[in-house]
Amino acid sequence: MSNNLTLTGFFWVIFSVLSALAASTGFFLPYWIQGQIYNTTVYLGVFRRCNFLEKQANGLSVLVRACGRYASFQDIPSEAWKASTVMIGIGCGFLLVVAFTAIFSCCCKDILTRTSARVGGALQVVAGFLLAIGFGIYPSGWGSVEFKQACGKEANFYRLGHCKLSWAFFLFVVGTGSAFICAVLSTRAGKQKKPIYSRTSIERSDSFIM
């Protein structure tokens, strides 16, 4: 184990990994919004969905019982969701980079110092803000046609209609909040290096005193 980590540093490593996993898993899974179409439970995420209507060549819409991402970035039904996808994706990327670095710092010497830990904490703050902004923008897309199909005509910007928030949404929120906690812990994660004095320099210092 690395001797460059303080006790707080070990907690920082653990929380960094958990934060990255929670935010990334919540982002990837489609279980953000739970609604219903034709008595079938449907789920909508930022860029993925489960059980959705697909328009056929004859103009009729058929319910597809499957989970997956949208066919392309342009197929995401809302500009707000597109912006959320980009921001949250970048934020999760930052958290994962810091988490992997933190893990390696437990096994390899000199990867983590007080300065590098604070740099990691700064990245976690940036990631946290990106995730929070993406989270704040996401409800702006609740007025899209696809969302109203699942949540009713009364659904609109920041109005869920008859839908409800599902567990992946809350997992993502926990990961986002944890990123800021990690940033605070990072300020005390690394030990301050003690200055190294060579024997020659000590002898020279003694002769100067004499």
pLDDT for the residue 193: 60
Q: Could you give the CA distance from residue 45 to residue 93 in angstroms, rounded to a whole number?
A: 18
Residue with the bigger pLDDT between 79 and 195: it is 79
The answer to whether 188 and 8 are in contact (CB under 8 A) is: yes
> Which spans in the chain are helix H?
7-28, 79-107, 114-137, 145-151, 167-185, 199-209
> What is the pLDDT averaged over residues 159-188?
94
Q: Could you give the CA distance from residue 195 to residue 33 in angstroms, rounded to a whole number?
A: 55
The label of the residue with tokens 């994962």 reads 96
Domains of the chain: 7-190 (1.20.140.150)
pLDDT digits over 21-65, tens only? 999 999 999 999 999 998 899 999 999 999 988 877 776 778 889
Residue 113's Cβ-side half-sphere holds a number of Cα atoms within 13 Å equal to 6
Residue 67: how many other CB atoms lie within 10 Å? 15
The answer to whether 150 and 36 are in contact (CB under 8 A) is: yes
